[in-house]
Structure 1
Amino acid sequence: MSNIFRRIYSGQLITSLIVLFIMSICFIFGIKASIYHWKMDKTTDLENVLLPVISKAYRFGGRLDSTVLEDSILPYLTDSLYAYVFDENKTPVLLLNRGERITLAQAETQIGSMQSFLTLNPPKEIKNDKQIIGYLSVDSIDFLAYKANKSFIATMWKTIAAGIIAAVVITLSVSFFISSFFSKQTNHLIAEISDLTTGNRSVRFVKSDMDEFNRITDSVEILQSRLEHEESLRQQWMEDISHDLRTPITAVKAQLEAMSAGALDTGKKRLDSLFGSMNHIEKLVNNLQDLTRFESPRMKIQSSKIDPTLFVEDLKERFEFLAEQKNISYDCRIDSVAPFFADKNLLLRCTSNIIQNALQYTNPGGKICVRFRGANQSVELEVANTGHLSERDLEHMFDRMYRGDSSRSGGGYGLGLSIAKAIMTLHKGTITAENRNDQVCLTMRFPLQENKS
């Protein structure tokens, strides 16, 4: 048996047995309470019958005479356990036990001290008109003293026992069926997920009759789709990285071999070309290393106070010359932003990556606009450049291993925007992209932070 089968089966069985136990206890208490109330009602009825009879006997003799009382009340005591009659001073006048007259000593051997008995069981007042002439203490016989009642209770206990046995058998059967159903569904789902973990991405999950299992299946299918997408991106990314590394390495190797064989000169121009290729490789490796570091949960930002005006001026000076060389209009503006705390170096890296991306894909004569503003306890930085992206590129452009066709042709590594997104995540912020009119707008937004390092 599987673990989930045992857990569900034992849980249902224990719950059902507890319910049966509680119901049995309630039923037993119900029977006992019914018997108690039956006896109390019987005693009350007997008191209501005897009190007028005793009052009548008193009026007949002018006093409570034991002989007269015995003859008067004895016919009514067929269902009584005892009947004690006392005068107005609570002195015993007549003591009857199961229809037979007994002495005070005999009564006290059964009930203990008569005084204590009367304290614990206050007797009923016997009145003649409004005058108290004595007291009556009476008790009916037990419910089970009747043979029919005893037979009824015995039959009821047998019925209860049979019902409990039947309920246990039914509970075992139903629990086994339900547990088997859940176990089968769970094991089937586990087998499908296990198949998925072995690398089989073509697994098709069978829908269940239960919404809970279907929600799990839907979640796993979403995970499966993401894994397929990630693997596709990883494969494409590895091919691109391999190509970007292989090209300069092959060029460097070929030139070094030719120089070693004396086929090429070792002049400054040749060495500069080799250094350029090595810088290309170094930049790619550094970007990979930085992205891994920024996405690590151990990475912490080093916050410092940032002057928005100086920050924007720095961005303008960094890229103004490059924009002029490409004949691109480059404009930086700031709107109502108070000094704030953030990791200045990382924020510059993030913004620079986005502006470099905009410069790379903006045609001559185009425009790049950088806007810096504060809104709703947050800082918002927007970079918009002339152009248009497909919906697929907008959806995946920040993915770690995604590079659109235009990016590949442009000679980038597909890492700059991923690094920007990782930096925004470190600042508990977001970065989004959209087509707006004839522009591609990338918006970074992160909350204002306290001075924490």
Structure 2
Amino acid sequence: MKIHNKLFLILFSFTFSVIAGMVILIQWSIGQGVIDFVNAKEIKALEPLTLQLAKQYQKTPSWELVIGGDKNFRMLIESQLENSQFLSKLPKSPDPRGRMMRRPPPSEHIVLGARRPPPENIAHYALLDENKQRIVGRYLSNLNYMTTAITVNNKAVGYLAVSKRDSLVDGYELDFLQQQTNYLWFIALAAVLLTLLVTFLLSRHLVSPVKQIANGMHRLTQGNYETKLTLDRKDELGQLSEDFNTLAFTLAKDEQVRKRWLANISHELRTPMSILLGELEAMLLGIREPNAKNINSANDEALHLKRLIDDLHMLNSAELGGMHYTMQATDMALLLNTIEQKYQVILEQHNIKLYLLNAAKNITVQADKTRLLQLFDNILMNAVHYAQCSTISLTASNISIKGQMYLQLIIEDNGVGVEPSHLSHLFEYLYRVDSSRNRQEGGSGLGLSICQHIVKGHKGEIKAEKSSLGGLAIIIKLPLFKA
């Protein structure tokens, strides 16, 4: 069964059960209330008799003298209820003189309603003494009675007991109860129809975006990464659709990177291998002499291929968590001075001046010193081989981001720079700004990717921007060590 149908049936069944239960409960409550009202009304109708009995008892303090027997007691009840709904209007029988006579009531009870009701709906009346013991009337142990005290001088001298009715058989109260029941079921029917409509619309409202997301996910599994959902919602499903679009965009981007990676790696491996094989084949065929110069040329290509494979292995280790770090407190001022001295000679050979601007004194970072040296080596050598610059500036300073202190390192040059469209791709594998891939400029195109893994391994951030000197700026942020 589809989720739309399941949701519809669950919501409708639950709501229908609640409505039906409430109607039955309200109907029972109204019925009980009407019955209690009728019982209370009958007690109210007998209050004048209670007052009359109290006055007679005050004059003659003996119930036998006041009431007499059961027949007199029944006549008193009948006379009191004669014009009320509680006394049965029995058909009259003609007397010998042609007049109609009221048929005497049954000796065992007073009848309720215009027709003789079932025995369980008949009211029974009794007179009790001050200890609630029967004097006259019918006082049955299996019935519940309501009692009204007969008081003389604020003292109960007896009680008038009336059995409680459990249901109605006649009277306007019964008509009222039937009318209310009809209204209730009419309201219930309207509520069920409204529930049917609301449940259908609600289930469709909830399931429709789920269907769209499911269809979109199916298209993703088929490799269609251009899929995009357009759900204008502000709830969790709207957030899910946004996450879906982000996932689709990421997959599309990763697919492009994967294709570029395959193209680049095949080119990077094929080029030195083709050159190496060509030189070896030329020497084997005697076209080129196997002298030291030609052998060194072949060896250079082999070394270049080895460096490429080593970098690929390092990146793979980083992706799999195999690039290990030995973290320890590292004095950055001392490390920066070491870098300045280490690269002084090679930078002078390329007519490049290095300016170290260390505004962060006594800064300690939890870092792997060897990896940081590798980080600076890749960035500085990238500037030497590609930037065509004459000046490199390395600036260190402290910054605070959301209460966390960072060491910010900015390495920038005044070289040819990089177009803004390339900045976000510089840290991708084998990405080259120079599409010609000039082999004379060296490098594998993996240096900056390795730098990114090293910085992330130190829980830092790295990005590329346009330099204030006119070339390229690499900005690194490392969290400071808390002693």
Q: What is the TM-score normalised by the length of structure 2? A: 0.72
Aligned residue in 2 for 1:92: 134
Q: 1:127 to 1:86 in 2, by over 3 A?
A: same
Aligned residue in 2 for 1:19: 18
Question: Deviation of residue 129 (structure 1)?
Answer: 4.2
Aligned residue in 2 for 1:395: 424
- What code does the residue aligned with 2:12 have? L
Structure 1 Cα separation of the partners of residues 423 and 46 of structure 2: 95
Aligned residue in 1 for 2:411: 384
Structure 2 Cα separation of the partners of residues 309 and 4 of structure 1: 64
2:318 to 294, 316, 319: 294
Question: Deviation of residue 279 (structure 1)?
Answer: 1.8
- What code does the residue aligned with 1:384 have? I
Single out whichever of 337-346 and 404-413 deviates more from structure 2: 404-413
Question: Deviation of residue 193 (structure 1)?
Answer: 4.0
Aligned residue in 2 for 1:76: 80
Q: 1:141 to 1:278 in 2, by over 3 A?
A: same
More relative contact order in 1 or in 2 (CA 8 Å, sep 6+)? 1
C-alpha contact 1:429 1:444 (8 A) present in aligned 2 = yes
**Cα displacement string for residues 307-337 of structure 1 (whole angstroms, at most 9, x for unaligned residues):** 3344333333332322222222223436144
Consecutive unaligned residues of structure 1, counting only runs of 5 or more, are 95-100, 112-116
Question: Deviation of residue 278 (structure 1)?
Answer: 1.5
Structure 2 Cα separation of the partners of residues 384 and 124 of structure 1: 103
Aligned residue in 2 for 1:114: none
- What code does the residue aligned with 2:393 have? I
1:144 to 168, 189, 203: 168
- What code does the residue aligned with 2:446 have? L
SS of residue in 2 equivalent to 1:127: strand
**Cα displacement string for residues 234-293 of structure 1 (whole angstroms, at most 9, x for unaligned residues):** 333433333332222122111111221233333333333222212211222222222222
Q: 1:369 to 1:164 in 2, by over 3 A?
A: same
Aligned residue in 2 for 1:110: 142
- What code does the residue aligned with 2:330 have? I
- What code does the residue aligned with 1:371 have? A
Question: Deviation of residue 382 (structure 1)?
Answer: 0.8
Consecutive unaligned residues of structure 2, counting only runs of 5 or more, are 87-111, 113-122
Between Structure 1 and Structure 2, whose CA radius of gyration is higher?
2
C-alpha contact 2:19 2:188 (8 A) present in aligned 1 = yes
Aligned residue in 1 for 2:272: 248
SS of residue in 2 equivalent to 1:254: helix
1:264 to 288, 305, 323: 288
Map 1:202-241 onto structure 2 (within 5 A).
205=228, 207=230, 216-241=240-265
Question: Deviation of residue 424 (structure 1)?
Answer: 2.7
Question: Deviation of residue 338 (structure 1)?
Answer: 4.5
Structure 1 Cα separation of the partners of residues 445 and 8 of structure 2: 54
Structure 2 Cα separation of the partners of residues 370 and 407 of structure 1: 32
Structure 2 Cα separation of the partners of residues 399 and 40 of structure 1: 90
Structure 2 Cα separation of the partners of residues 302 and 33 of structure 1: 83
- What code does the residue aligned with 2:424 have? E
Matched length:
431
- What code does the residue aligned with 1:87 have? D
Question: Deviation of residue 183 (structure 1)?
Answer: 5.8
SS of residue in 2 equivalent to 1:85: strand
- What code does the residue aligned with 1:265 have? E
Structure 2 Cα separation of the partners of residues 58 and 310 of structure 1: 119
- What code does the residue aligned with 2:67 have? S
Query: RMSD across aligned C-alpha pairs, in angstroms?
Result: 4.0
Question: Deviation of residue 19 (structure 1)?
Answer: 2.9
Question: Deviation of residue 345 (structure 1)?
Answer: 3.2
Map 1:28-427 onto structure 2 (within 5 A).
28-35=27-34, 37-39=36-38, 41-42=40-41, 45-46=44-45, 48-64=47-63, 65-67=66-68, 72-77=76-81, 79=86, 81-94=123-136, 101-102=137-138, 107-111=139-143, 123-146=147-170, 149-150=173-174, 153=177, 175=199, 179=203, 186-187=210-211, 189-201=213-225, 205=228, 207=230, 216-296=240-320, 301-332=325-356, 333=358, 335-371=360-396, 373=398, 375=400, 376-387=403-414, 388-400=417-429, 402-405=431-434, 411-427=442-458
**Cα displacement string for residues 98-127 of structure 1 (whole angstroms, at most 9, x for unaligned residues):** xxx33xxxx34534xxxxx8xxx7954432
C-alpha contact 2:367 2:458 (8 A) present in aligned 1 = yes
2:468 to 421, 437, 453: 437
Structure 1 Cα separation of the partners of residues 231 and 331 of structure 2: 58
Structure 2 Cα separation of the partners of residues 52 and 401 of structure 1: 111
- What code does the residue aligned with 2:55 have? K
Structure 2 Cα separation of the partners of residues 146 and 290 of structure 1: 97
Structure 2 Cα separation of the partners of residues 109 and 420 of structure 1: 98
Q: Which has the higher helix share?
A: 1
- What code does the residue aligned with 1:383 have? I
Structure 2 Cα separation of the partners of residues 183 and 132 of structure 1: 72
Q: 1:448 to 1:39 in 2, by over 3 A?
A: farther
Structure 1 Cα separation of the partners of residues 168 and 331 of structure 2: 96
Single out whichever of 10-19 and 402-411 deviates more from structure 2: 402-411
SS of residue in 1 equivalent to 2:223: coil
Q: What is the TM-score normalised by the length of structure 1? A: 0.76
**Cα displacement string for residues 67-125 of structure 1 (whole angstroms, at most 9, x for unaligned residues):** 4766555433563823443333444333xxxxxx33xxxx34534xxxxx8xxx79544
C-alpha contact 2:397 2:407 (8 A) present in aligned 1 = yes
Question: Deviation of residue 154 (structure 1)?
Answer: 5.6
Structure 2 Cα separation of the partners of residues 357 and 407 of structure 1: 17
- Identity over aligned residues, as a percent? 24
- What code does the residue aligned with 2:300 have? G
Q: 1:301 to 1:140 in 2, by over 3 A?
A: same
C-alpha contact 2:264 2:430 (8 A) present in aligned 1 = no
C-alpha contact 2:462 2:477 (8 A) present in aligned 1 = yes
Structure 2 Cα separation of the partners of residues 222 and 263 of structure 1: 57
